[in-house]
Amino acid sequence: MTEYLRPRTLAEALAARAAHPDWLPIAGGTDVLVSAPHRPAPKGLLDLWRLPELGGITEEGGGLRVGAGVTWLEVQRDARVRARASILVDAAREIGALQIQARGTVGGNLATSSPVGDSLPVLLALEAELELASTRGVRRLPYPQFCTGYRKTALAPDELITAIVLPPLAPGAHLRWRKVGTRRAQSISKVMGAAAIYVDAGVVRRATVAFGAVADRPVRLAAVEAAVAGLPCADASAAARAAVASSISPITDVRSQRDYRLLVAENLVARFFAGLDASA
């Protein structure tokens, strides 16, 4: 019989996590309960849904701290996220549909860290840090150090994800996001990407570009970022496109094909950097 605990405080949750590292932490359940009758029952459930310390969106050091228990619907409704991290709202609106957005959480998408996790390229592009807590203390990790492989993370068996921290946006930022899924809504991504492009005086000073569904994990496109740094805006799109192929390694599966994913990733990257002059 599966055990069940609904802790009332984070401290209680961390203690239970430390005591029962083999229990399944669950918040919205939208990943871990898919086809549940065909999954082996876990030893226990550590129910984090609506745990107060995991909720809430607060300002922190000019940036935003988003609790791991915040749902995608709450992300969409938050005016500060809309103003400062619009692409996180854009991604939130394309995660599943209403029922999934009402239940799925920021922390859940991170914990699963599927290559098709829709928020993950956005968090990469925004250079978000994860806040991880255990009875041993709190640490912060940037996402590239958190996700270590196909659905693999650096989360220790006694740790919980408590928040993401979005640093303040540097001036001149242009945010970009596009998901290309299997259909218009309630879809799994075939390719999706996000970018934060920092422009000053008609020149791309710096850019962070991240894609999902094109590698074993969500990835930053370092070659693209290097290719555009310092380029006049008018030249950035072509340079960015040319650097995509060396940065990603998409596969063919039941949802799409390698060549298509590569081509669309190139198109999206080129589009992200197109018209920066006009929209500056």
Considering only the stretches 2-10, 123-131, 159-167, 228-236, report the one whose residues sit in contact with another protein under the rule CB under 8 A: 2-10
Chain positions 111 to 150 lying near another protein, rule: CB under 8 A, are: none
Which of 2, 58, 135, 246 binds another protein (CB under 8 A)? It is 2
Minimum CB distance to another protein smaller for 111 or for 130: 111
User: CB 39 → another protein: shortest distance, Å?
Assistant: 9
Chain positions 61 to 80 lying near another protein, rule: CB under 8 A, are: 72-73, 76-77
Residue 267 found at the interface with another protein (CB under 8 A): yes
CA distance 147 to 121: 12
Residue 185 found at the interface with another protein (CB under 8 A): yes
Under 8 Å CB-to-CB from 272, ≥6 apart: which residues?
176, 178, 193, 195, 197, 209, 240
User: CB 50 → another protein: shortest distance, Å?
Assistant: 9
Nearest partner of 220 among 131, 127, 149, judged by Cα: 127
Residue 8 found at the interface with another protein (CB under 8 A): no
Considering only the stretches 34-42, 127-135, 154-162, 201-209, report the one whose residues sit in contact with another protein under the rule CB under 8 A: 34-42
In angstroms, what CA-CA distances link 55 with 47, 75, 105? 14, 11, 10
Nearest partner of 120 among 248, 132, 112, judged by Cα: 112
Residue 232 found at the interface with another protein (CB under 8 A): no
Question: 135 in helix, strand or coil?
Answer: coil
Which of 88, 160, 163, 180 binds another protein (CB under 8 A)? It is 180
User: CB 61 → another protein: shortest distance, Å?
Assistant: 27
Which H or E run includes 129?
strand 129-134
Residue 47 found at the interface with another protein (CB under 8 A): yes
Residue 226 found at the interface with another protein (CB under 8 A): no
Work out the widest C-alpha separation in the chain, in whole angstroms.
Answer: 64
The DSSP output letter for 38 is G
Sign of CA dihedral 22, 47, 50, 35: positive
Which of 150, 275, 277, 280 binds another protein (CB under 8 A)? It is 275
CA distance 46 to 133: 15
Nearest partner of 211 among 254, 260, 178, judged by Cα: 178
Considering only the stretches 148-156, 200-208, 222-230, 266-274, report the one whose residues sit in contact with another protein under the rule CB under 8 A: 266-274
Question: 96 in helix, strand or coil?
Answer: coil
Radius of gyration of the chain (CA): 19
At residue 108, what is the residue type?
Answer: G
Minimum CB distance to another protein smaller for 26 or for 68: 26
> Which residues form the interface with another protein (CB under 8 A)?
1-4, 6, 26, 28-30, 33-38, 41-42, 44-45, 47, 49, 72-73, 76-77, 92-93, 96-103, 178, 180, 182-188, 190, 254-257, 259-260, 263-264, 267-268, 271, 274-275
